A = this chain, B = another copy of it.
Amino acid sequence: MLDLPPGIERSDDPALLRQKSRDFYWYSPVLKRQLDGKRGDLWVRPRDEDEVLAVLRACRAARVPVTVRGGATGNYGQCVPLAGGVILDTTALTAPLGIVDGVLEAESGAKLIDLDTYARERGWELRLWPSTKRTATIGGFVAGGGAGVGGLSHGTLRERGNLLGVRVATLEETPRLLDLEGDAAAPVNRTYGTTGVITRVRLPLTPAQAWRDVALGFPTLEGALRFASALSFCDGIPKKMIGVMDARLPPFFRGLAEAVPAGQALVLTMVAPSGLVALRDLLREHGGAWLAEQDAVAAERDPDATPYYEYCWNHTTLQVLKKDRTVTYLQCRFPFEGTVEAVLEIAARFPDEVWMHTECVRFGGRTTMSGLPVIRFTTEERLTEIMAGFEAAGCGIANPHVYTIEEGSNYRRVPGDQLGFKRAVDPLGLFNPGKMASFTPG
C-alpha cells in the first residue's frame, strides 16, 4: 500500500472520492455513459512542492496511478481517474509568486480570477481565460487546453509565446521538479496531467484596461454573423470576445434573456471603452440594436452578477443544460475563408438539432470562428452523423465526446515531443493512465 508521510491532507471518504473524481464531462451523454462511476481510491491535497514530491515518491514506489485535479471545470473527463489510485488535488497551491516584465508566475492551483485580480492591482491582466475563470485553476487551464476569452486577440495557449514556462514534478525513479521555459514547456500543454504535475506556471500578461460587456441584437443569424465577422477584423476596436448565438439560445440566459427581443440573434462582445464609438458606427452599418451593456470587470467580481463571458464559450451549453438536460454540444473550427457561409451552411443542414453558437478566434495569427453549438441529443449514432456533416462542410471537429488527448484534438495525435517527454518523466505510465492513448509503458 501507499507509504505517505503524515501531515499531508488526505481522505478516502467514499462521498468525497465520488465528488473529487468528476468534472463537467456530463455535458456529453457519451462520456457520461463511459465515465460515470469511475473513482480514485485516495484524495490528497499537498500544500507545497515538497508534499507533491512526497506523494509522487510514494505512488512511484507502490506503482499507484496519479490523476491531477485542479478546479475540475474541464469537459472531457481529464481529471477522472480511469484506473483508480491517487487524486492529487492542486487547489492548496494558490500563491501568486510575482510579476516580472509583464510575466506572471504562480502556483498551479491558483484560480484564474484571483490571478487576474492580482495582476490588475499591478497594472496587468490575463491575456486569455476560459469562461470558467471564476472557478478554474491556472494549472488546469494549461493542462486542459487553454482557449477562450482573449483568443480573438491572442490566439490560444498553444500559440508560441502564450505559455512561457512551467515547473513540473515527475514520476521518474526519483521524482523531481523540472523547470521548462518557452518551447520546452510545450510537452505539458494540453496533456491532461499525463506528463507531470504542474506546480508552477509562467504566463505573459497584457497591460490592464477596462472592458465593457455589450449585447447586440440582430433580426437574423446571418446578420449577427456578418457583423461579428466584420468586428473581428476591425483592428481599430480593441476587444476580448465576440460570441454569436442564434435566437433559440438567449432565452436560457438568466439575467440577460429579458433584454433580448424574441426571435433575435445575439452578439455578445467585450470591447475597450475607447472602441465604443466605432462599435456604434459598425452596428449602425449592419442594422443591429444595442440591447444592454455593463462593466465586465465589475460583473465578474460581483457574485450576484454574470459577466457576459459566462454566456459564451462552453458556458453557453451550461446555461441551456441548467434548464434542459436533453441537449449536448460540439466543438469545431470553421474555415478561414468563407467562414460565415460555412456556419450558415451547417445551420441550414441541421435546422432543428443544431442551435448555432460561434466564437470569433485567431489561430496562427488568422481570424476565423470556432463553433460550440448546442445539439438536441437523440442517439450517439445521430451525434456521429451530425459531426460528419460538420466535417463535410469544411469544419475541423475537436470532439468533446471522447476522453483521450488524441481523439479530442483536431489532429487526432499528440505532438511527438509530448509522447517522448512522457516516456522520460513517467516511464511506468502512472500519470492519468488511459488519457494519452498512444503511450505504452516501456
Interface residues of chain A, those whose CB is within 8 Å of chain B, are: 101-103, 123, 153-155, 159-162, 164-165, 181-183, 204-210, 232-238, 272-275, 277-282, 362, 364-367
| Residues B210 and A209 in contact, CB atoms below 8 Å apart | no
Question: Which of B161, B272, B278 makes the CB contact (< 8 A) with A160?
Answer: B278
Lowest 9 A-B CB distances belong to which pairs? Answer: A161-B236, A233-B365, A161-B278, A207-B207, A204-B274, A102-B274, A155-B235, A101-B273, A159-B236
Min C-beta distance of A153 to chain B, whole Å? 7
| Residues A236 and B102 in contact, CB atoms below 8 Å apart | no
| Residues B365 and A164 in contact, CB atoms below 8 Å apart | no
Min C-beta distance of A286 to chain B, whole Å? 12
Min C-beta distance of A365 to chain B, whole Å? 3
Query: Which residues of the other chain, B, contact A236 by a CB distance below 8 angstroms?
Result: 154-155, 159-162, 204
A183 to B282 Cα, complex, angstroms:
9
Query: Which residues of the other chain, B, contact A159 by a CB distance below 8 angstroms?
Result: 234-236
Asked whether A365 and B364 contact (CB < 8 A) given A103-B274, A153-B235, A236-B204, the answer is no
Query: Which residues of the other chain, B, contact A165 by a CB distance below 8 angstroms?
Result: 277
| Residues A154 and B274 in contact, CB atoms below 8 Å apart | no
Residue of B nearest to A153 (CB): B235
| Residues A274 and B164 in contact, CB atoms below 8 Å apart | yes
Query: 27 A-B Cβ contacts within 8 A?
Result: A101-B273, A102-B272, A102-B273, A103-B273, A153-B235, A154-B235, A159-B234, A159-B235, A160-B234, A160-B236, A160-B278, A161-B235, A161-B236, A161-B274, A161-B275, A161-B278, A164-B277, A165-B277, A204-B236, A204-B275, A206-B207, A232-B365, A233-B365, A233-B366, A235-B362, A235-B365, A365-B367
Residue of B nearest to A101 (CB): B273
| Residues A160 and B282 in contact, CB atoms below 8 Å apart | yes
Residue of B nearest to A185 (CB): B277
Supplied contacts A101-B273, A160-B278, A161-B235, 8 more A-B pairs, CB within 8 Å: A102-B209, A102-B272, A123-B207, A160-B236, A161-B279, A164-B274, A204-B236, A204-B238
| Residues B235 and A182 in contact, CB atoms below 8 Å apart | no
A362 to B273 Cα, complex, angstroms:
22
Asked whether A182 and B280 contact (CB < 8 A) given A233-B364, A365-B232, the answer is yes
| Residues B274 and A101 in contact, CB atoms below 8 Å apart | yes
Residue of B nearest to A127 (CB): B236
Which of A274, A282, A364 neighbours the largest number of chain B CB atoms within 10 Å of its CB? A274
A161 to B235 Cα, complex, angstroms:
8
A218 to B234 Cα, complex, angstroms:
33
Query: Which residues of the other chain, B, contact A362 by a CB distance below 8 angstroms?
Result: 235
Question: Which of B182, B277, B364, B365 makes the CB contact (< 8 A) with A182?
Answer: B277
Query: Which residues of the other chain, B, contact A280 by a CB distance below 8 angstroms?
Result: 182
| Residues A101 and B237 in contact, CB atoms below 8 Å apart | no
Query: Which residues of the other chain, B, contact A154 by a CB distance below 8 angstroms?
Result: 235-236
| Residues A238 and B365 in contact, CB atoms below 8 Å apart | no
Which of A159, A164, A208, A277 neighbours the largest number of chain B CB atoms within 10 Å of its CB? A277
A282 to B159 Cα, complex, angstroms:
12
Residue of B nearest to A209 (CB): B207
| Residues A281 and B204 in contact, CB atoms below 8 Å apart | no
Query: Which residues of the other chain, B, contact A281 by a CB distance below 8 angstroms?
Result: 160, 182-183
Query: Which residues of the other chain, B, contact A232 by a CB distance below 8 angstroms?
Result: 365
